[in-house]
Amino acid sequence: MNILDKIIAHKKEEVAERKSLVPTKLLERSVFFDNKVVSMKKYVTHPEKTGIIAEFKRKSPSKGAINSAAKVEKTSIGYMQSGASALSILTDKEFFGGSNEDLATARKFNFCPILRKDFIIDEYQIVEAKSIGADCILLIAAALEPKRLEELATFAHKLGLEVLMEVHDQEELDRSLNDQLDLVGVNNRSLKTFDVSLDTSYSLVDKIPDQFVKISESGISDPQTLVDLKKGGFDGFLIGENFMKSIRPHQAAYNFMNKYRELSPDFKTEAV
């Protein structure tokens, strides 16, 4: 059993329990439910933004504890003020130390696209994503049958949410691509070994059709890497640990994005 199998097994139990505690009808009454969705696609590709999707992640199976003290409010606002295009908020509790409240807090304090970072296997979680203020959901190709993935993506679109599909290799990409996706992410971290290799991104970027916004995910720790990935054809970059491992993640993000600006002279906008 690899880590993903373990997480999905746990997720099934968790979703069953949540469903019995909070019916869908109640989720639909949330104040966030009628919010207009902020497009991740648009913000990531906006020429005056960095393309960075900055992540709030307290711990992970590969790294253990990363930062248990950071506050969502300060961190998310700081990420956005530094020039991030969007936020990614972990809502899985068991393996990543996140919560739905974290995402709802980020929503309250920011006008920007927010990705619900979780392991989605059921429509219920998509309604829940909308009810806590998310704009985009993650669907992991390694965890879903292609047909099921397309069904979930279609359901998300019905609620107005965008969809980021994550792949690790060409086989996952080939079998899971469908028209209901908005963004396609290549995860540089292997689920089996936890090794990170940017070669995964470079080897897959040209295989992703141009109708999708292309995201490189995980293991990015150097602004020069962003310049290179952008040249290689990526529009967006998902960065978590590199910011979160600092005592002040928002400050780390600020320094990182300033360096990125210096390295890309055609990229003019200042952090506010």
Ligand X SMILES: O=P(O)(O)OC[C@@H](O)[C@@H](O)c1c[nH]c2ccccc12
Residues of this chain that bind ligand X (CB under 6 A): 55, 57, 117, 166, 187, 217-220, 238-242
Of 26 and 65, CB closest to ligand X: 65
Which is nearest to 155 in space by CA: 131, 180, 118?
180
For 199, other C-beta atoms within 10 Å of its C-beta total 9
Q: Which of 14, 166, 172, 241 is catalytic?
A: 166
Minimum distance of ligand X from residue 104's CB (angstroms):
19
Measure the CA–CA gap between 196 and 96, rounded to whole angstroms: 18
Strands 59-60 and 64-65: antiparallel
Q: Which of 39, 187, 188, 242 is catalytic?
A: 187
Minimum distance of ligand X from residue 221's CB (angstroms):
8
Measure the CA–CA gap between 213 and 184, rounded to whole angstroms: 6
Phi, psi for residue 55 in degrees, rounded to 5: -105, 140
Minimum distance of ligand X from residue 190's CB (angstroms):
11
Of 219 and 223, CB closest to ligand X: 219
Catalytic status, residue 55: yes
Q: Which of 117, 130, 214, 230 is catalytic?
A: 117
Minimum distance of ligand X from residue 166's CB (angstroms):
5
Residue type, 131: S
In the three-class reduction of DSSP (H, G, I as helix; E, B as strand; rest coil), residue 83 is classed as coil
Catalytic status, residue 231: no
Residue type, 44: V
Catalytic status, residue 57: yes
Catalytic status, residue 13: no
By annotation, the residues acting in catalysis are 55, 57, 117, 166, 187, 217-218
